[in-house]
Structure 1
Amino acid sequence: MIYVHWIFIVVYAIVIISIIVTVLLDNRQPAKTMAWVMVLMFVPVFGIVLYIFFGQNTRKMRLMSQRSLDQLSKRQMLEFVEQRELRLPERYRSLIQLFTNQSLALPFKDNDVEFYTDGYQFFPALLQAIGRARQHIHLDVYIFADDPLGRLVSDALIQKAREGIEVRVIYDDVGCWRVPHKFFERMRSAGIDVCVFMPVKFPAFTSKVNYRNHRKLCIIDGVEGFTGGMNIAMRYVKGIRGGSLPWRDTHMHLRGSIVYALQRAFLVDWYFVDRTLVTNRCYYPPMPWRIDNNCIAQLVTSSPVAPWPDIMQGYVRILLEAKKYVYMETPYFLPTEPILFAMRTAALAGVDVRLMIPRHSDAHMLEWASVSYVMQTVQSGVKIRLYKAGFNHSKILVCDDELCTCGSTNIDFRSFENNFEANVFFYDRQLALRMKDIYLEDEAQSVDINYVDELQQRPFVRRLSESLIRLLSPLL
């Protein structure tokens, strides 16, 4: 028995050395590598737990074979090839090519977009579209709440399933932790195919908890779709009468060729959770809408298992190539170093860079961690606006009256590096101007950070606390 503790020490040392070698071979940024080496060496046992949960390089994993991915993309490729007179904007040709090469985010023309800026606009439109379904409904959502609105949507889906319509639903396990299983079992009993994304259960309770499907996709019959920032929850429709302001968010109703890209994204996620290849031609039907324009759109997806952080790289390129302005909205601002560098560089180069975040976050730790980044960008000339008419959960970007994007991606470590996200990038002047108007309307309900005394005159203890919490930014 006298040697037992020595055996434990030797085994522990071997484990630590093996993990350190793995970290070194990942060839990450030197600062990240050194940070993990220090944690593993000087934080006994807990350092290993942290690495298992948050430190593994998932971009080296292959969770889907290339053959399966090719099969799931074949129909989308055929619809892309059938496009005629596709004219890509010369200025953004390299950005379009970047997305195409990295994640097969094909550009599609002939699209029509309707923007929703609150739940009172979005949910009636969603329910009407569900009611129009004649073949299938595909829903991919982070939060599907068991509240009056969630039950209303689930009832609509159940009714369509009883009519013989194919209904598939993906929900995220962490996003729906507080939702009772019976809520989803009721849908399954009615004939809906319901799958949970990457369930977190012991003993598999490792890094799974850190990688979540944050996408919000809905496709009806393969000809119309919805995507953006809204989950299915009452928080988007609660008004002043209910005792709280609603969450401000941006969502889109899409018609046209871009729906083929939404369909492909959902079917890839479906294969991920159900291991079923759904490739039938009926899921990519001819469009019934007569839309003839050159509104170019790309659905760009990113995930921790993709080779590159696609959406983050796109944001960096947009910021560095902007000529006049870049306006952004995000509920959480914990930027990665490339994003922070690009924002500061663009602002110092004379580009009008504006960032809108909520006056108060729904999470105090996130708010405190964000302040140090915010103050750093202000010093370089970035204009920070604090939205004060509720909690702004919107994720949009508009640039130079020519490009805009909306989707599920926050400007933070989690969205850029850990989550499964989806954004639609539009290369169209009319749409960019419409999104610019949305931003300016929100700005009218915001205050310049320079006029908020409590942020400008924070005591030393508060600033120190913010800097300490900032160290946890990649984990928040």
Structure 2
Amino acid sequence: MTIDASSIFNAVVIINAIFAVLTVFREKRDIAAIWAWLLVLVFLPLVGFIAYAFLGRKLPKNRLFKLHKHVQMQLDERLQEQRSQLGHADKTPADDVVRRNRNAVDMFMTTDSAFLARQNKVHIFTNGNDLFHRVIEDIESAKKSIHIEFYTFYNDRIGNEIRDLLVMKAKQGVEVRVIYDSWGSMGTTRKFFQPLNDAGGHAYPFLNTRSVLLDFRINFRDHRKIIVVDGKIGYTGGFNIGDQYLGRKKKFGPWRDTHIRIIGSGVFGLQARFILDWNATSTRGQINEEAVQPKYFPVTTTKGNVNMQIVSSGPDSDLQQIKMGYIKLITMATKYCWIQSPYLIPDDSVLDALRIAAMSGVDVRIMIPSMPDHPFVYRATQYYARQLAEEGVKIYYYGKGFMHAKTMVIDDEIASVGSANLDYRSFKLNFEINSFIYDEKFATAMREIYLNDISVSQLQTPAMFNQQSLWLKFKQTFSRLLSPIL
């Protein structure tokens, strides 16, 4: 009996389809991700399964939850001490903003135990040179501890400058701890941090990944950006550590991002998040009984005007806390909701929130880059930009370099600055951190920055999107099909 090639081919197709279905349905995931992975596995039989091995499997949560639960109990004790101090602080205008938006504050306290940090001093940075000049000054002045966590810590000019400064501080007896993402810091090996380790400091890739090429958790990235100095000064936002973030790469030109420097009780949220991530990363599964020390949470005497909550999210939780925060702000807006994000790949819940706001007369604006850094991601971003423009959302292409800021501001009252983009990856796959800020002056400052950015941006009308070529629209539509796994 002879078996022809077509029979073999049909059998392979059927077997591949069966394995694709069994593979995708082994773990709980949303419908969009199921169809996206089925598309990849069915039409790319071998390559698809290799991709799934690295990108499709969900993160084992048991180890992370075990570590977090233990350390969270200690953190709650430290933060309770701070709450008792903050409760007696003088009333400020920002407290009225909190009162008017109390349900948003309560939501973050419920979903992420994010306590309300009052009376902070916050400075906004939109230029990498200004930011790192101040960061270097603060690191140089450190007396007790320096905690750094970044998605990208490149082995380049600014990366070496920061690393060498950390080595110097470690030699002075300052506790230096660094977490970096092995994928985001591609090209930066453990050898790069050896001088720091030799000086008494410590640097680990997030979750102690040994090899990017053999990391089956490669789809779950530590996208957070955190600096805490002596438990008193904190930084977070969109900048990473690398020359391109200072506008030194011709490919991107001037780099437009947003970062904030915090002095006050808001730093405790950054410190707590770093400690949780450090404990999960450095102990290799062993609970660190000394994870939380009083020196990391000094009592603050700052008398600022800004109230805030530090909110984190990631694949170790199904709540998608930052996404819920974005939706909450969008639906609370009555006058305007202005957003900046380099990647615009929202899920249906965020799309509906944006649609409802725009159709209710809210001035909804979204600013995205005018150039790609990831081809598939950018085409998917263009697809959703075109769709939202047709539904009344104002889409702006930033025209002075690369737009990387992840911000939202509503009604001159509330703003968000952080690491989370408006996309699937930030909502479900990445470990992210955002500050949600309640203060009229801060929100007004964010609005003015946005207006300045609009002056170098171009409004994309539905008519302009309709003039795009059929080939470009096809690439956008195809990329959109893969959006749940980009």
TM-score between the two structures when normalised by the length of structure 2: 0.88
Residue 33 of structure 1 and its aligned partner are, at CA, apart by 4.2
Match of 1:400 among 388, 406, 411: 411
Instruction: Out of 85-94 and 199-208, give the one that drifted further.
Output: 199-208
Amino acid in structure 2 at the alignment position of 1:460: L
Residue 91 of structure 1 and its aligned partner are, at CA, apart by 3.0
Residue by residue over 1:396-442, the C-alpha shift from the partner in whole angstroms, topping out at 9 and shown as x without a partner, is 11001100010111111111111111100001111111111111111
Residue 22 of structure 1 and its aligned partner are, at CA, apart by 2.7
Residue by residue over 1:443-476, the C-alpha shift from the partner in whole angstroms, topping out at 9 and shown as x without a partner, is 11111112995x4411212211211121122232
Do the aligned residues in 2 keep the contact of 1:59 with 1:307 (CA within 8 Å)? no
Check if 1:425 corresponds to 2:433.
no
Instruction: Out of 89-98 and 100-109, give the one that drifted further.
Output: 89-98
Residue by residue over 1:238-291, the C-alpha shift from the partner in whole angstroms, topping out at 9 and shown as x without a partner, is 369x7962211111110011011111011011011012342111111122x441
Match of 2:376 among 356, 365, 369: 365
Check if 1:272 corresponds to 2:280.
yes
Structure 2: how far apart are the matches of 1:30 and 1:475?
12
Match of 1:291 among 297, 303, 316: 303
Structure 2: how far apart are the matches of 1:186 and 1:429?
45
Amino acid in structure 2 at the alignment position of 1:296: N
Structure 1 partner of 2:475? 465
Structure 2 vs 1, CA of residues 266 and 380 (structure 1 numbering), >3 Å: closer, same or farther?
A: same
Residue by residue over 1:16-68, the C-alpha shift from the partner in whole angstroms, topping out at 9 and shown as x without a partner, is 67545534xx2x44454455567667764555444443434448655232223
Structure 2 partner of 1:53? 54
SS in 1 for 2:365: strand
Residue by residue over 1:314-355, the C-alpha shift from the partner in whole angstroms, topping out at 9 and shown as x without a partner, is 111111121010001111111122111111111011110000
Structure 2 partner of 1:350? 361
Match of 1:381 among 378, 385, 392: 392
Do the aligned residues in 1 keep the contact of 2:33 with 2:484 (CA within 8 Å)? no
Structure 2 vs 1, CA of residues 447 and 15 (structure 1 numbering), >3 Å: closer, same or farther?
A: closer
Structure 2 vs 1, CA of residues 12 and 62 (structure 1 numbering), >3 Å: closer, same or farther?
A: farther
Structure 2: how far apart are the matches of 1:450 and 1:424?
32
Residue by residue over 1:165-205, the C-alpha shift from the partner in whole angstroms, topping out at 9 and shown as x without a partner, is 11111111101122244221122122211111135556993
Do the aligned residues in 1 keep the contact of 2:152 with 2:241 (CA within 8 Å)? yes
Structure 1 partner of 2:267? 259
Amino acid in structure 2 at the alignment position of 1:195: Y
Do the aligned residues in 2 keep the contact of 1:170 with 1:270 (CA within 8 Å)? yes
Structure 2: how far apart are the matches of 1:176 and 1:473?
23
Runs of 4+ in 1 over 3 A off after TM superposition: 8-21, 28-62, 85-88, 198-207
Structure 2 vs 1, CA of residues 12 and 70 (structure 1 numbering), >3 Å: closer, same or farther?
A: farther
Structure 2 vs 1, CA of residues 383 and 260 (structure 1 numbering), >3 Å: closer, same or farther?
A: same
Check if 1:301 corresponds to 2:304.
no
- Percent identical pairs in the alignment equals 34
Structure 1: how far apart are the matches of 2:389 and 2:15?
49
Do the aligned residues in 1 keep the contact of 2:121 with 2:302 (CA within 8 Å)? no
Structure 2: how far apart are the matches of 1:243 and 1:211?
27
Match of 2:445 among 413, 434, 458: 434
Match of 2:121 among 94, 112, 124: 112
Structure 1 portions without partners, runs of 5+: none
Match of 2:257 among 249, 256, 260: 249
TM-score between the two structures when normalised by the length of structure 1: 0.89
Structure 1: how far apart are the matches of 2:31 and 2:466?
33
The equivalences for 1:308-323 within 5 A come to 308-323=319-334
Say what the alpha-carbon RMSD is for the aligned residues: 2.8
Residue 384 of structure 1 and its aligned partner are, at CA, apart by 0.6
Structure 2 partner of 1:171? 180
Residue by residue over 1:77-104, the C-alpha shift from the partner in whole angstroms, topping out at 9 and shown as x without a partner, is 3212332257572332111111111111
Residue 237 of structure 1 and its aligned partner are, at CA, apart by 2.4
The equivalences for 1:200-215 within 5 A come to 200=209, 205=214, 207-215=216-224
SS in 2 for 1:110: strand
Structure 2: how far apart are the matches of 1:82 and 1:99?
21
SS in 1 for 2:319: coil
Residue 143 of structure 1 and its aligned partner are, at CA, apart by 1.0
Structure 2: how far apart are the matches of 1:198 and 1:11?
36
Residue by residue over 1:183-237, the C-alpha shift from the partner in whole angstroms, topping out at 9 and shown as x without a partner, is 2112212221111113555699354110011111000100111111111111132
Aligned length: 463
Check if 1:416 corresponds to 2:424.
no
Amino acid in structure 1 at the alignment position of 2:64: L
Structure 2: how far apart are the matches of 1:60 and 1:232?
29
Amino acid in structure 2 at the alignment position of 1:76: L
Structure 2 vs 1, CA of residues 51 and 236 (structure 1 numbering), >3 Å: closer, same or farther?
A: closer
SS in 1 for 2:449: helix
Structure 2: how far apart are the matches of 1:71 and 1:10?
53
Check if 1:78 corresponds to 2:42.
no
